[in-house]
Amino acid sequence: MKIDVRLNGRDTAWEAPAGATLLAVLRDGGPNPARMISVKRGCETGDCGACTVLLDGQPVNSCVVAAGRAHGHEVTTLEGLAADPLMISLQKALVDHAGVQCGYCSPGMLISLYHLLRECRAAGVRPDDHAIREALSGNLCRCTGYVKPVAAAAAVAAALEAVQAAAPGKGTVAS
Amino acid sequence: MWDLKEYRIAGSAGEAVAMMRRGPGKGVYIAGGTDLFLFPPTCDYVVDINHAGLSDIVGSPDGDLFIGAATTLHDLATNPLVNRFAGGLLSEAAAHCGNRPVRSTATIGGNLCNALPSADLAPALLALDAVCYIADEDSQESLPLEDFFTGPRKTVLDGRLLVGIALSAEAAKRRALARRLTRSAEDIALVQVAVALEVIDGRVGAVRIALGSVAPVPMRAMLAEAQIEGELLSDLTPDRLADAGLIAASECDPIDDHRASAEYRREMVGVLTRRVLASALAWNPSDDKEGGAA
Ligand SMILES: Cc1cc2nc3c(=O)[nH]c(=O)nc-3n(C[C@H](O)[C@H](O)[C@H](O)COP(=O)(O)OP(=O)(O)OC[C@H]3O[C@@H](n4cnc5c(N)ncnc54)[C@H](O)[C@@H]3O)c2cc1C
Ligand code: FES
Ligand code: FES
């Protein structure tokens, strides 16, 4: 089937089998020249989150989403956020806090955390550890034990709050 | 990979049904796909209902709710109308399903149509007297959710489309609470109990006790409900609630599997029913009319 999708800000047309998952097309298929290899193939049962991407801005497990579901929609992978300041600060924080070990889960975690922090920034709230852990509820990590990724996200959240508080005309945001 | 010949995208409920009935071969509806991709059925085509106008939650001025079948679990968990309906029982149930990315695409319709005995939305919806709206090419039907499930992974649908779920304003004010017992937070529930009841002038009105994972289909424990309905709050001693729990336990029909024995599940139905009833009866007494709260 032909799938018209806006992939990382660019209109793209895929030719994919009717039964393909979004994961299969993003990683291996279609005429898209750049393979989105940040999208990892893990469990393929929706449990591990290695394949997390944004569909219309919402995090989804691309291994349990039909490729056809993306027709007429917007898909964002880590590749599409490479120049995004919020994503760059998250990546730096994850490295600084030793929240990356083997790295297999990292793209999925980064997408989930990016989504959380962007929503919180828009709502003017700072996520607490519970909210961060909830956002990571779909990202299995076999290496870090989650403490360091959570600390990294908390550090970025605190920095965002400081920036917002310093912005002229804005008060301190609620937590 | 799932061997499908065709992926059809429906622009309306009517078109979805027509695409399903058109053939050739066998088709299934697809919403979130979070169940289908785990166990892809043998079929020729799927009909995607995500663009069919079935993803809205609409409240009537009277306080009734209509929830489109393709509404996602994330929307159920966060929608203010659903958050307020019967203490947010349904939002809570949705928020406990799977994980955040799964809830972005998984739908209420898929949860019910998949018809697992352990479907997490079923007990909450049974306790709120949910009504199913079903459509075919030239017929429509509405029926209580209790009559929707016919066996494990079986429903009355037979190729028809679940359009949505209606909740009546009558259920909105019920005190509603649920508990689910699992081995780990993300595992399938061993036992689910949802209770919704109303208290009017110190007396219990309508009572619903719904059970999941303990019978071939999600079910109501009607004999246990009858023990509580119409009783004065002051008469409902801990012993009476324990009795109601035992009756609920006798009504269910659990199986043995690698997660738990039937005996354990049955016993836990008794314990959880007693506890959830006790909490619901004691819940926010100041909200009741006789409490005279502001
Ligand atoms: C990682 C993971 C965790 C999960 N955790 C939970 C959990 O905690 N609790 C729980 O209850 N479930 C859980 N599930 C199962 C699943 O996500 C839910 O049951 C979900 O609500 C299914 O919805 P869907 O839209 O994805 O269904 P789909 O996969 O699209 O469809 C499921 C079935 O319903 C049919 N169908 C869908 N919509 C309609 C309709 N409108 N009319 C007629 N037929 C229809 C389809 O043909 C198919 O047979 C989990 C799944 C995964 C992958
Ligand atoms: S590969 Fe998709 S969730 Fe594991
Ligand atoms: S860093 Fe190895 S799985 Fe998370």
Any chain A CB within 8 A of the CB of B28?
no
CB contact under 8 A, B33 and A137: no
What is the DSSP code (8-state) at residue B79?
-
Are B102 and A46 an interchain contact pair (Cβ–Cβ within 8 Å)?
Answer: yes
Q: Does the distance separating the beta carbons of A60 and B101 come in below 8 Å?
A: yes
Domain residues for the domain of B23 are: 6-48
**What digits encode the pLDDT tens for the residues A77-119?**
999 999 999 999 999 999 999 999 999 999 999 999 999 999 9
- Position B78 in a domain: no
User: What is the tens place of the pLDDT at every residue in B240-290?
Assistant: 999 999 999 999 999 999 899 999 999 999 999 999 999 999 875 445 443
Identify which of A22, A26, A53, A63 to mutate to test ligand 2's pocket (most ligand atoms within 8 A of the CB). Answer: A63
Q: Which one of A18, A49, A72 has the shortest CB-CB distance to B101?
A: A49
**Domain membership flag for residue B225:** yes
Structure confidence at residue A171 (pLDDT): 46
Tokens of B153: 């992974």
CATH number reported for the structural domain that contains residue B232 in this entry:
3.30.390.50
Distance from the CA of A45 to the center of ligand 2, in angstroms? 6
B192, B110 Cβ separation under 8 angstroms: no
For A136, the closest chain B residue by CA position comes to B100
Q: Residue ranges of chain B with pLDDT lower than 50?
A: 285-286, 288-294
pLDDT digits (tens, 9 = 90+) for B14-32: 999 999 999 999 999 999 9
**Ligand lying nearest the CA atom of residue A21:** 2
Write out the DSSP string of B108-158.
HHHHHHHT-TT-TTHHHHHHTT-EEEEEETTEEEEEEGGGTEEETTEES-T
A146 lines ligand 3 (CB under 6 A): no
Sheet strand arrangement including A10-15: A10-15, A2-7, A74-76, A52-55, A58-61
Number of independent structural domains in chain B: 2
Domain over A83-166 is classified CATH 3.30.70.20:
no
A134 near B CB under 8 A: yes
Q: Is A58 exposed, middle or buried (0-12, 13-18, 19+ CB in 10 A)?
A: middle
Summarize pLDDT for A14-49 with one digit per residue, the tens.
889 999 999 999 987 655 545 899 999 999 999 999
Please indicate, yes or no, if residue B110 is contained in any of the structural domains: no
**Upstream peptide bond of B24 is cis (omega within 30 degrees of 0):** yes
The residues spanned by each domain of chain A are 2-77, 83-166
Which of A91, A94, A104 best tests ligand 3's pocket when mutated (most atoms within 8 Å of CB)?
A: A104
Does B114 lie at the interface with A, CB-CB under 8 angstroms?
no
pLDDT above 70: percentage of residues in chain B = 96
Residue whose C-alpha is closest to residue A114's, from A28, A53, A36? A53
Architecture of the A2-77 domain: Roll (3.10)
Please, where are the H alpha helices in A28-172?
A: 85-96, 106-123, 129-135, 147-166
Q: How many CB pairs under 8 A join A and B?
A: 87
Within a domain: B67: no
Ligand 3 contact, A53 CB (< 6 A): no
Strands B27-30 and A74-76: unpaired
| pTM of the predicted structure, to 2 decimals | 0.94
Whether B168 maps to a domain, the answer reads no
Please report whether residue B239 resides in a domain: yes
ipTM for this model: 0.91
Interchain CB distance below 8 Å, B7 and A18: yes
Given a contact cutoff of 8 angstroms between Cβ atoms, the answer to whether B207 and B228 are in contact is yes
